Amino acid sequence: MPNLMPRQPKNIVILISGSGSNMAAIVRAAQAQHWQQQFGAHVAAVISNRPDAAGLQLAQSLGVATQVLSHQAFATREAFDAALMALIDTHQPALVVLAGFMRILTPAFVQHYAGRLVNIHPSLLPAFPGLNTHQRALDAGCTEAGCTVHQVTAELDHGPMLAQAAVPVLPGDSADTLAARVQMQEHLLYPQAIRDWLRSAACR
Ligand code: NHR
Ligand code: GAR
């Protein structure tokens, strides 16, 4: 039996702000697909900038360590990002995953994790960067909506795309019904995109 375990462990740190359903989809995929044995990868920590994020309990229930760093404890965006970097780096991450993380990150942060920082955005980028994507897609009369996994760069929601999934916009859709349809795809797409990334990283 060859030992397929790479020498370098690939720690994954997931940043959240809210319910953490994408985080949970990634953790469940990592467990079910044995990312540890396959790629030497495991989710080392889930970090929230909001102490009340429901995703923290969800992560704990899945057996993942959680940490909170409230942005409200910092006077500037730069100070928060510097503290966040220091916390993340205690885990020596191969990959940092934004999963419903709602703070715009400074260029210094993005630079520090260049090539190992990814996000899932709830639109078919380059359409609708920024917030309120579902209402904006409805207002624009789009017949398709979806989600995009992309590398994070200093320009918001403009980094290189890694994967995309589309869903139809249906008659009578509200922002909520459309968001729910898109999120079902997010929960499939994001774990798959990370698995693809780990697989290619394993050969480097
Ligand atoms: N940071 C950089 N530099 N580049 C990206 O592409 C980023 C990023 C940080 C987060 C996720 C993103 C999304 O997928 C993301 C991508 C938050 C905002 C925002 O305006 C915008 C986009 C995204 C996340 N946040 C407000 C802020 O002042 C706060 C809003 C709130 O707390 O609810 O940071 O859409
Ligand atoms: C997801 O739909 C994600 O695409 C979106 O927020 C939701 C988070 O849900 N992200 C953004 O809007 C980033 N600005 P989750 O916390 O249950 O994963």
Residue of minimum CA distance from atom 7 in ligand 2: 100
Report all structural domains of the chain as residue ranges with CATH numbers, in order of start: 10-119+148-161+187-202 (3.40.50.170)
Token pair 């991450």 is found at 93
Token pair 């403009």 is found at 158
pLDDT band (50, 70, 90) for residue 201: confident
pLDDT in tens, 48-105: 999 999 999 999 999 999 999 999 999 999 999 999 999 999 999 999 999 999 999 9
The ligand placed nearest to the CA atom of residue 84 is 1
Q: According to the model, what pLDDT value does residue 4 have?
A: 57
Q: In the predicted model, what is the mean pLDDT of residues 173-201?
A: 97
Q: Does the CB atom of residue 146 touch ligand 2 within 6 A?
A: no
pLDDT band (50, 70, 90) for residue 8: confident
Residues pairing with 55 in the sheet: none
Q: In the predicted model, what is the mean pLDDT of residues 137-166?
A: 97
pLDDT higher than 70, residue 10? yes
pTM comes to: 0.95
C-beta contacts of 64-70 below 8 A and 24+ residues apart: 64/27
Residue of minimum CA distance from atom 10 in ligand 2: 100
The CB-side HSE value for 90 (13 A sphere, CA atoms) comes to 10
Catalytic residues: 121
Q: According to the model, what pLDDT value does residue 7 have?
A: 59
Q: Could you tell me the distance, in angstroms and rounded to a whole number, from the CA of residue 29 to the centre of ligand 1?
A: 25
In this structure, the residues whose C-beta lies within 6 A of any atom of ligand 1 are: 98, 101-105, 110, 119, 121, 130-131, 152, 154, 156-157, 159
